[in-house]
Amino acid sequence: MSCQSPIVVALDYPILEDAMNMAQRLDPSQCRVKVGKELFTRVGPAILDDLHKLGFDIFLDLKFHDIPNTVANAVAVAARAGVWMVNVHASGGRKMMEASANTLQSIQGANTLLIAVTVLTSMDQQDLAEIGIDLSPQEHVQRLARLAKSSGMDGVVCSAQESSVLSHELGKDFCLVTPGIRPTGSDQGDQKRIMTPTEAIQAGSHYLVMGRPITQAADPIAILRQVNTDLGVVI
Ligand SMILES: O=C(O)c1cc(=O)[nH]c(=O)n1[C@@H]1O[C@H](COP(=O)(O)O)[C@@H](O)[C@H]1O
């Protein structure tokens, strides 16, 4: 059964048992899951099989950023592992993204979504200035998202604060994956460009990546259920 919820729960754990305990409490009809650098570096690709066996769609978030050949080959390995979504950094440039998209297309039966990270949701204007980018986060996100679309990406990772402008400019089919989601009252942590789940969906986000507000809650399942209810998701 395909998942009707836009929520992707980030399984950011340094220990396999903790990640699997959380996954076993979650229901694949109520969310997807994300495997990121912390968990993957600790436990390796076997986690993908474990989560697939539980029925989850998996976002493999390794944010590849390297020369075109290396990134395209890494994307191919991810697609062959059957992940639902994989990401690369848009700042790796057109040639890197095109090589990835072309390689993915050449894999028979692959239907993995290829998504480009624009400006990390933990960054604000001052962080961008320090790395030599004298644009607002929104301007830089727009620039990278245009490049990502014209390089064959299925969508981008951005903050929900940019979803509205990207949805208007790039069309409703261009997939907007938005971390930095914080239900009212939850701790902002290291995220700078945040929005509530309801605001994010209203702004045009397709998928909401949520880690700590769910995984570190006293009752993670209650929070997930509440967000799905607030979004009107019928399970
Ligand atoms: O690609 C990502 O998933 C990502 C991109 C980005 O710009 N910001 C961002 O927070 N993420 C990831 O989304 C998750 C957010 O987690 P929380 O801040 O705990 O909700 C983490 O796993 C991050 O690695």
The 3-state secondary structure of 169-229, one letter per residue: HHCCCCEEEECCECCCCCCCCCCCCCECHHHHHHHCCCEEEECHHHHCCCCHHHHHHHHHH
- Tokens linked to 7: 């929520």
Contact indicator for 140, 89 with CB cutoff of 8 Å: no
Residue 2 included in any domain: no
What pLDDT shows up at residue 173?
Answer: 97
Ligand-binding site membership of 121 (annotated): yes
The whole domain housing 194 covers 7-230
Determine, yes or no, domain membership for 235. no
* CA of residue 179 to ligand 1 center, whole Å: 5
Per-10-residue mean pLDDT of the chain, 235 residues long, equals 92 98 98 98 98 98 98 98 98 98 96 98 98 98 98 98 98 98 96 98 98 98 97 89
Query: ipTM score here?
Result: 0.99
Asked about 149 being catalytic, the answer comes back as: no
Quote the DSSP letter at residue 7.
Answer: E
For residue 119, how far is the Cα from the chain centroid?
12
pLDDT of residue 170: 98
**Res 45: pLDDT:** 98
Which of these, 9, 175, 17, lies nearest to 87 by C-alpha position?
175
**pLDDT computed for residue 1 by the predictor:** 59
User: Is there a domain that residue 44 lies in?
Assistant: yes
Does residue 1 belong to any structural domain of this protein? no
The pLDDT value recorded for residue 6 is: 98
With a 6 A CB cut-off, is 162 part of the ligand 1 pocket? no
Strand partners, 113: 85
The CATH code of the domain that includes 96 is 3.20.20.70
Q: What is the pLDDT of residue 2?
A: 81
- pLDDT attached to residue 103: 98
Instruction: Tell me if 63 is assigned to a ligand binding site.
Output: yes
Distance CA 214, CA 101 (A): 32
Tally of structural domains, the chain: 1
Using a 6 Å cutoff on CB, does residue 48 contact ligand 1? Answer: no
User: Has residue 215 been placed in a domain?
Assistant: yes
Query: Residue of the nearest CA to atom 12 in ligand 1?
Result: 179
